[in-house]
Amino acid sequence: MAHMNLRQVRLSEGDLDFLIETACPEVMDKSRLKQILREDEDFRNSFISEEKLFERLMNDDEVFLKISPGLFFEILLRNAAKDLEKTSYTLEKTNTMKIPVFDTQDVIKLLSEESLLIYLAEMLSSFTKIQSYSITFRIRKGIWKKIRFNDMDIVSLMNFCEAVEDEYRLGFYKRIADICLFILGIFPDYAERDYRYPFSGELRPHIRGKLRISPEEYEQEGRKFYKLAAEHQSVKEMDLSEVFWILHSNFQKAKKPLNFIAEHYLHYRRDTFFG
């Protein structure tokens, strides 16, 4: 699993061109503006929050060919924070109803944590292309086994956590927790539908070899693995300890801006953005 350091998140040349031509096409000294966007974090964040950028994202079906996924989701998250300010509640869905919860201000406050917002944007971008891996490990002396899996295969990732040495577990912890947050945030209907029948509410039968995870268990596992990641000895190298603790303590609230994006911005296009 790839490690990520928030301090290394940068706008590409294509990202900068897109930002300037969309929000400020009349500017004469584009090189100077690019330099400011690279060096002034506050200016950069304010610039990315421009309404023109969000509108273009919503109206350009080929936007992924023009900017990085990380910038795409950062723009959506910043706009979600603004839109959430206009509402007094968020919705929590069960298999039978939608329940209003008056926690909007808490969700907005969470998104005001800059490192968390950037983490969520990068986390979402990591799901636009699913990576496949193969790992060879020794069963016993002279006998080795190769296993292939992809980084959405939560069952294999959990098994590998137990099989590998502790020093290699941080990437697995992070990815497992991210999968749980991603599914409950962007595809909550999948989590519910995969666990029980949508109309009757009856639990689906157990299938041998397939782990059946309820939405509640996704949240429990997500909180658990963010905590394990926050406590891991190598987390300082990633500069993510604080973010992991925030997600562990606020998992329920952290999924809500993702729910908002999925329902209000992505709609039926979710499958086109995520691998």
Distance (Å, rounded) from C-alpha 199 to C-alpha 119? 36
pLDDT greater at residue 152 or residue 223:
223
Evaluate whether 105 touches 52 at the Cβ level (below 8 Å).
no
Confidence band (pLDDT; 50, 70, 90) for 199? low
CB count within 10 Å of CB 39 equals 9
- Tell me the whole-structure pTM to 2 decimals: 0.88
pLDDT of 208 reads: 63
- The stretch 46-74 carries a mean pLDDT of 92
pLDDT of 156 reads: 85
pLDDT for 3-46, tens place per residue? 454 544 679 999 999 999 999 999 999 999 999 999 999 999 99
pLDDT greater at residue 3 or residue 63:
63
Mean pLDDT in the chain?
87
